[in-house]
Amino acid sequence: CFVFIEAHVSPKNVCQVYEFAVVLEAHHLIYECLNIIDRQTHHVLTCTTFPSVSVSTLET
């Protein structure tokens, strides 16, 4: 399951995947999400899904 999710993480869904990974304490997936957010920040911030990100995710 994690392999599939990791293979399909994109700037459009990375924040939601990150939140899911935090709940499950999936440290490798958290790390992968943070890398995508770091490398593709502009794309993440301009996605239509960004406004639905939780405050705790923004504080990360």
CATH fold for the domain made of 1-54: 1.25.40
Task: Report how far residue 17's alpha carbon sits from residue 24's, in angstroms, rounded to the nearest whole number.
Answer: 11
Whether pTM exceeds 0.95: no
Tell me the pLDDT tens digit for each residue of 14-27. Answer: 999 999 999 999 99
Q: Are 33 and 14 in contact (CB under 8 A)?
A: yes
Q: Are 33 and 7 in contact (CB under 8 A)?
A: no
pLDDT surpasses 90 at 47: yes
Q: Tokens 């490798």 label which residue?
A: 28
The residue ranking higher by pLDDT, 59 or 35, is 35
Mean pLDDT (whole number) for 33-47? 97
Q: Tokens 């943070």 label which residue?
A: 34
Residue among 59, 54, 47 at smallest CA distance from 20: 54
